Amino acid sequence: MKTIARSLAAAFGVLSFGFYLWHGLTWAPASEYDNSVLAWVGPQMVLPIIALTVVPIVFAFTGEGILEAFTGGNSSTFRHGLVGIGTVKSFRQTGLSVNDQPQVRIEFSVEGFDGKIFDSAAKMIVPLTELALLQPGVVLPVRYLPGRTDKVEVDRSGDMSAAQQAMNESMIRKGFTTKGKLDIAARGSTAQAVVQSLSVPGEIRDGHSKIELGLVVTRPDGTTFATRVEKFLPPASVAQVQVGRILQVHYLPENEQEVVIALQVNA
């Protein structure tokens, strides 16, 4: 769509100025009283004036990240791209804004569906109220093309299952979870647990610290049981599991010692 809009705008601009030049160069006076200025000044100026207005607007509003902001979806190029996990490295405002909402260029470290890591960038319009949430370390699902990894788009499809699948595969590859634990999270009973103890053995894996939690889980019927959980967490998430915090957990009634805790990715 972006390419078509720009092509049509460019063609309109070329034809408009082409007609204007043709009219001026081929103009012949109808009578001896006609001034040569009429070759260039008159109704023939309408199309070039319109082109000077329309063409820049079309190119501006089909710029990277602009069209997506208006449509609420990804561009046609990336709409069916692969889903990867993008970790924000840095960002900066480009100086362009739409309805007082700034456009930002985000530098990502992206983990593809196959586990390969590559650097990329995306441009998008970010509401002022959400700009403070865009910080280094924030994880976002992105769409990318296998043969063009220099550019990505933040996934706007709303397909949380695709993003969750990409996240799950990434966590399995890094050893942060297992298929068995993911099955418990999907099929298990949901309950609340209180963190009773927290210890840090000191093991670090891919920038994540291993923690051991002592939990008291409340069953749906109000009774409780105690268990221990080991998990690798990024430094920013450790605050979510401090002693006394209430967590959402999942477990299978037939195996209460295997408990999976649910934490926000970008808390």
Give the model confidence (pLDDT) of 167-196 as tens digits: 888 888 888 888 999 899 889 999 999 999
Tokens 């295997």 sit at which residue? 258
Structural domain of residue 11, as residue ranges? Answer: 2-62
Contacts of 141 (CB under 8 A, 6+ apart): 83, 84, 85, 86, 154, 155, 162, 163, 166, 167
| Distance of alpha carbon 45 from alpha carbon 127, whole angstroms | 40
- For position 244, which CATH number holds? 2.40.50
One-letter amino acid for residue 264 of the chain: Q
H-state helical runs in the chain: 2-26, 46-61, 66-71, 128-131, 160-173, 179-187
Which residue, 258, 58, 248, is CA-closest to 66? 58
18 vs 42: CA distance, rounded Å: 15
Considering the domain boundaries, does residue 52 fall inside one? Answer: yes
Helices (H) and strands (E) in the chain, counts: 6, 11
Indicate if 25 and 81 belong to the same structural domain: no
Q: How many domains does the chain have?
A: 3
Q: What pTM value is reported for the model?
A: 0.64
Greatest mean pLDDT among 18-22, 41-45, 213-217, 252-256:
213-217
